[in-house]
Chains A and B, each alone.
Chain A
Amino acid sequence: MTLNEWIFVGLFLMAGWMLPVVPLLLGYWLAPRRPNPVKKQIYECGVQTVGSAWVQFRAQYYVFALVFVAFDVELVFLFPWALAYNKLGLFALFEMAVFILLLVVALVYTWRKGALEWS
């Protein structure tokens, strides 16, 4: 557990983003640029755009994000458990099963509520 293994990641964060930027700059210099109002219009199957792009979404998307956040936190906790699993007894499995089951209860509840249906 040293910092040394992170030097490469740090360097990559500093230098790696240039690689996608280089072709962008190349395109910036090479490509023609003659914008006009028609070209700059927002693409909408040939008709004029009405209103702002910020439309309201259905709560549907949100429920999936909710369930995901809860599961994501649980998954992160599973990592150290899986890491130490070889050095643990069978009780570790039992405890993790309880941990998972509690969240599965919530998933089943969401399911039964019909929140996972895409109406």
Chain B
Amino acid sequence: MEITVEAIVFLVFSAITLGGALQVVLTRNLFHAALYLMLSLFGVAGLFVLLTAPFLAGAQVVIYIGAITILIIFAIMLTPQVTRVLKVHHTQWPVALALAALLFVGLVWTQTPLADELGADGWSADFTVEDPADVPADSLTDLGKSLVDPERYMLPFEAASLLLMAALIGAVLLVNRPDDNPDAEAAPAAGARPDQSG
């Protein structure tokens, strides 16, 4: 079992991704959860770089960290914890845990050769395999071309724009209600440090 630099980097980013994700699910404080979400998504961006998809890595950081998570934080700030709930999780969380664990084991068992590896003689998983074929140097240009090529992804591309438009209009319709504005800036604060948010 040879450990290369790439394998170490892979392990580090995987740990960031999974550790951040665990914190998202477990943390009491919603603001912290959002920050951990950023960390986790940053780890995913690192994995994308390792997979030779730098454009997707950049897009991941710009869209997820720079936009979606910021939006989530804005939303968190708009809905302060009126009900100071001490419980973060449902009471039936063991069931969910069992379900998730079962799914994980099932996925790993069916999708990976890990089971065979373990069955043979202990842990002998190899961290390096032969490189798959190289990514063409102009793959990014090809991406741009394929997006506007009527024979390839033009239709999904325009549909994506349509989806964004519909989402934006719908969201503005939902959020922008000038008739009732309960979220005045001076609304009563919801008690002490909001660490008990669900």
Using CB atoms and an 8 Å cutoff, list the residues of chain A in contact with chain B.
1-3, 6, 10, 50-52, 54-59, 61-63, 65-70, 72-77, 79-85, 87-88, 91-92, 95-96, 98-100, 102-103, 105-106, 109-110, 113-115, 119
Closest to B197 in A: A54
Q: Is the CB–CB distance between B187 and A55 below 8 Å?
A: yes
The total of Cβ contacts below 8 Å across the A-B interface reads: 176
Not counting A105-B165, A109-B172, a sample of 7 additional A-B residue pairs whose C-beta atoms are within 8 angstroms of each other reads: A52-B189, A52-B190, A67-B172, A72-B66, A77-B160, A95-B148, A102-B161
Q: Contact partner of B190 among A54, A67, A103, A105, CB < 8 A? A: A54
Known contacts A74-B164, A95-B154, A62 near B49 by CB under 8 Å: no
Q: Contact partner of B55 among A58, A75, A79, A113, CB < 8 A? A: A79
Which one of B18-26, B95-103, B138-146 is at the A interface? B138-146
Within 8 A of A (CB), among B136-159: 136-137, 139-145, 147-148, 150, 154, 157-158
Instruction: State which size class the interface on B falls in.
Output: 35 or more
Which one of B32-40, B111-119, B176-184 is at the A interface? B176-184
Shortest Cβ gap from B11 to chain A (Å): 14
B94 touches A (CB below 8 Å): no
B78 touches A (CB below 8 Å): yes
Shortest Cβ gap from B34 to chain A (Å): 13
Closest to B174 in A: A66
Known contacts A1-B52, A99-B161, A56 near B183 by CB under 8 Å: yes
Q: Is the CB–CB distance between B49 and A81 below 8 Å?
A: no
Which one of B68-76, B85-93, B122-130 is at the A interface? B68-76
Q: Contact partner of B145 among A3, A88, A98, CB < 8 A? A: A88
Shortest Cβ gap from B168 to chain A (Å): 4
Q: Is the CB–CB distance between B175 and A114 below 8 Å?
A: no
Using CB atoms and an 8 Å cutoff, list the residues of chain B in contact with chain A.
6, 9, 49-50, 52, 54-55, 58-59, 62-63, 66-68, 70-71, 74-75, 77-78, 80, 135-137, 139-145, 147-148, 150, 154, 157-158, 160-162, 164-165, 167-169, 171-173, 175-176, 178, 181, 183-194
Q: Contact partner of B158 among A61, A65, A73, A95, CB < 8 A? A: A95
In the docked arrangement, what's the CA distance between A82 and B142, Å?
A: 12
